[in-house]
Chain A
Amino acid sequence: MNSWLAPGTWNIALIGAMVCAVIGVSVVRARRGAHVQVRAFPPLLALDRAVADSVAQGRPVYFVAGSQDIDNMQTVAALAVLRPLARKVAEAGGRLFVPTNRSLVMDNAREICRRAYHDAGRADLWRDDWVAYISDDHLGFVARVDGLIARERPGLCVLMGFFASESLLLAEGGHQVGAVQIAGTASAVQLPFLVASCDHVLLGEELFAAGASLEGDAARLGSLRGQDLCKLAAAACLVAGSLVATLADVTGAQPWLLLREAFLNVFRAG
């Protein structure tokens, strides 16, 4: 018999549906006016001051949206940060350079920046070539961006999105010219480099919350709330599951053994 579900994946469908439902309800509630408070992120608080200082010194701002294409969620999150950042730079009358290594990212980033400068009433200042495609090769991309940074001497470098080995090379380039560096990535392998070399870092999930926090969009704040509820539910399941497993081990009683089996069946990954 044909089945819509692969054998043994009912729990993934169930939990996936529950996660989607919680996030969906949270989005609807936020859109209807439910208040969603987002905690303060120090890197974002530092952004205003860094933009103002950079522009006051006549130095440009550099933004790198990671090294992946537009279909990577971290790139999407990075572009969500670019929108309010571009507005801040435009309002301050500064120059914003966005070197990219994917054509689609370039196209979207250019549209975002152009609109931000237009909305800030500084369309006259904007130049399309400030958002440029360099190369798909991430090390070729870094070689060029580091060269540009050395020559343009930006006052602020913002590195957001997915990074691989180029993270430290980019951060080092900004450090060499004394730029304030604000970074954010959900790439666990690269986070240590950014933490060590940048002034402020958005850790993991904070990157996805940053755009919503800066823009205050109700739907995205609602989504954030839904995700947080799921995280707390996961934490509760972890504690409960561990306690049940421990009691099953220690007592060997049938009810605890059955309950442990039920827990493991619900959370079986494959």
Chain B
Amino acid sequence: MIAAIHLSGDVQVWIGALLTLMVFSFLWRDNPFYKFAEHVFVGVSAAYWMVMGFWTTLWPALVLKLFPAAGRWSSPDAPVGAWDPVALIPAALGLLMLARLWPRLSWLGKWPTAFALGTTAGYSLVRYLRSDFLYQIEATIGTGLAPTAAGRWLWQESLAQLLVLAGTVSGLVYFVNTREQRGAYGRVARWGLLVLMITFGASFGSAVMGRVALLVGRFQELLGPWLGIL
């Protein structure tokens, strides 16, 4: 028995459903419907992020710190904060960024870029040193190659630990880029590549399931709120 269709009367549901179908039409080929959805998507998302950028970054981190009284415009009951002269630094860097609009002054625009790159590099160095370097080593050597429990040798855990060690070391060897991968060294690197590929395979399967869940979500949206079948 075919379920009865009860089309939604909600304009928002119709817009969502039609745009979904327009995007799906790309599976057939590029067509005017897809182009329409594409332009709507790009326009709406660009505008959305611009507005978000203003209200989540520029307004609280710059405007309210330099002109605290301006807070009354957006939240009349909120207490007025203190003037923060430190905000003049990002304000100046932001203005320097705009210098790129004038060819003769465009070199000034390199300073804020350099500042952003430098601070991120410094911040990331400590963060990655801790998470990708120290933590990996600590986790690998934390358990020896012969773990025991109640005086019994846990050979399965032992084998797993050995595989982790061999995989980690051979993976590191694969990523040594200033040496040709030949001979015994090359064989270790190839083992590292094999470990990486096995890991990618497992990760791929898991991520594909996530994508299928997204697709199911879109179909539920179409068949439920729009067509009223589900």
Residues of B150-182 contacting chain A, CB below 8 A? 161, 165, 168-169, 172-173, 175-181
Q: How far is the CA of A108 from the CA of B173 in the complex (A)?
A: 34
Asked whether B137 lies within 8 Å of A228 as measured between CB atoms, the reply is no
Decide yes or no whether B38 CB sits under 8 A from chain A: yes
Please pick, from B23, B137, B177, the residue contacting A241 in the complex, using a CB distance under 8 A: B137
Chain B's closest residue to A213 (CB) is B177
Decide yes or no whether B88 CB sits under 8 A from chain A: no
Decide yes or no whether B131 CB sits under 8 A from chain A: yes
Q: How far is the CA of A193 from the CA of B175 in the complex (A)?
A: 20
Please pick, from A40, A263, A269, the residue contacting B131 in the complex, using a CB distance under 8 A: A269
Distance (whole angstroms) from the CB of B170 to the closest CB of chain A: 9
Please pick, from A139, A228, A268, the residue contacting B178 in the complex, using a CB distance under 8 A: A228
Decide yes or no whether A270 CB sits under 8 A from chain B: yes
Bin the interface of chain A by size.
Answer: 35 or more
Decide yes or no whether A76 CB sits under 8 A from chain B: yes
Contacting chain A: which of B7-15, B74-82, B118-126, B221-229? B118-126
0 or 1 for each of A192-209: is its CB under 8 Å from B? (1 = yes): 110110000001111001
Decide yes or no whether B147 CB sits under 8 A from chain A: yes
Q: How far is the CA of A72 from the CA of B203 in the complex (A)?
A: 24
Decide yes or no whether A248 CB sits under 8 A from chain B: yes
Please pick, from A73, A189, A213, the residue contacting B124 in the complex, using a CB distance under 8 A: A73
Residues of B110-162 contacting chain A, CB below 8 A? 113, 116-117, 119-121, 124-126, 129-131, 133-135, 137-138, 140-148, 161
Contacting chain B: which of A8-16, A50-58, A83-91, A117-125? A8-16
Decide yes or no whether A98 CB sits under 8 A from chain B: no
Residues of B within 8 A of A239 (CB): 165, 169
Contacting chain B: which of A59-67, A155-163, A230-238? A230-238
Task: Count A-B pairs with CB separation below 8 Å.
Answer: 191
Q: B residues within 8 Å of A by Cβ?
A: 23, 26, 29-30, 34-35, 37-38, 41-42, 44-46, 48-50, 53, 97, 100, 109, 113, 116-117, 119-121, 124-126, 129-131, 133-135, 137-138, 140-148, 161, 165, 168-169, 172-173, 175-181, 196-197, 200-201, 203-204, 207, 211
**Contacts A12-B129, A38-B178, A270-B135 supplied; 15 other A-B pairs, CB < 8 Å:** A39-B179, A71-B120, A107-B100, A108-B113, A135-B45, A136-B45, A137-B41, A195-B197, A235-B169, A238-B165, A249-B146, A249-B147, A263-B141, A267-B137, A270-B130
10 closest residue pairs by CB, A with B: A241-B141, A137-B45, A140-B45, A245-B144, A192-B204, A136-B49, A192-B200, A246-B144, A269-B135, A71-B120
A-B contact pairs, 16 of them (CB 8 A): A16-B129, A71-B116, A73-B120, A104-B97, A135-B42, A135-B46, A136-B50, A144-B38, A147-B34, A192-B200, A221-B178, A231-B176, A242-B165, A260-B144, A263-B141, A269-B135
